[in-house]
Amino acid sequence: MIAQGDKLPAAVLSELTDEGMQNLNTQELFAGKTVVLFAVPGAFTPTCSEAHLPGYVVLADQIKAKGVDMIACVAVNDAFVMRAWGKVHNASEIRMLADGDASFTKALGLEMNTGSFGGIRSVRYAMIIRDGVVEKLNIEQAKSFEVSKAEYVLNQL
C-alpha cells in the first residue's frame, strides 16, 4: 500500500473536458505541482454526493490559497460519469479524474471489493502530493468520513 513519502505509481487516468477525452499519465499530471487528491467509492453515491465532493467545492478557494496548484477527485467510474457528476455539483475548480479499470487504485493498494454493489472500488481517502510524492495520506476506516474531508485536509496544509 502507498505510504507517506512514496512516489505515486505510474498509471493512466481519464478526464473528459470540453476538448474531448484526455488520457493523463499520473507521473506527468502530478509532477512539479502541489496537489490535493481525494478518492471516493463512487460518483453519485450518498456520502460522496452529499458531503465529500461538496466540501471540496466549497473550500476550493481556501485550499488553493494555501499553495495548492490542483484539487482532483478520483473514482473507479468512467470519465463520462465523472464529468456529469462534477457538473451537477459545480465542481469547476476540481479535476474529475476517472480510474475506469481501477488500475491506479490497485497500484496504490487502496482498492476494496464491494461485490455486487459495484465490484472493485476505491476506499475513501485524501492525500497531499508534492511533486509526485505523497506528503500526507489520510485513509478512512470503513463506513467512516472524517480524515478525507476538505476541512481536515485544509488544516493539514
List the domain boundaries for the chain.
12-156
Mean pLDDT across 29-57: 95
The mean pLDDT value of the chain amounts to 96
Q: Which CATH architecture has domain 12-156?
A: 3-Layer(aba) Sandwich (3.40)
Q: Is the pLDDT of residue 111 over 90?
A: yes
Distance of CA 135 to the CA centre of its chain: 15
pLDDT attached to residue 145? 96
pLDDT attached to residue 119? 87
Q: What is the pTM of this model?
A: 0.96
Tell me how far apart the alpha carbons of residues 58 and 151 are, in angstroms, rounded to a whole number: 10
3-state secondary structure 108-145: HCCEEECHHHCCEEECCEEEEEECCEEEEEEECCCCCC
pLDDT attached to residue 46? 86
Mean pLDDT across 60-69: 98
Which of 60-64, 73-77, 111-115 shows the lowest mean pLDDT across its residues?
111-115
List active site positions.
48
Q: Is the pLDDT of residue 114 over 90?
A: no
Tell me how far apart the alpha carbons of residues 19 and 11 are, in angstroms, rounded to a whole number: 21
Query: pLDDT band at residue 147, thresholds of 50, 70 and 90?
Result: very high
Mean pLDDT across 70-93: 98
Mean pLDDT across 49-76: 97
Query: pLDDT band at residue 48, thresholds of 50, 70 and 90?
Result: confident
7-42 confidence digits (pLDDT tens): 999 999 999 999 999 999 999 999 999 999 999 999
From the list 156, 155, 141, 146, the residue with the least C-alpha distance to 52 is: 146
Share of the chain above pLDDT 90, in %: 91
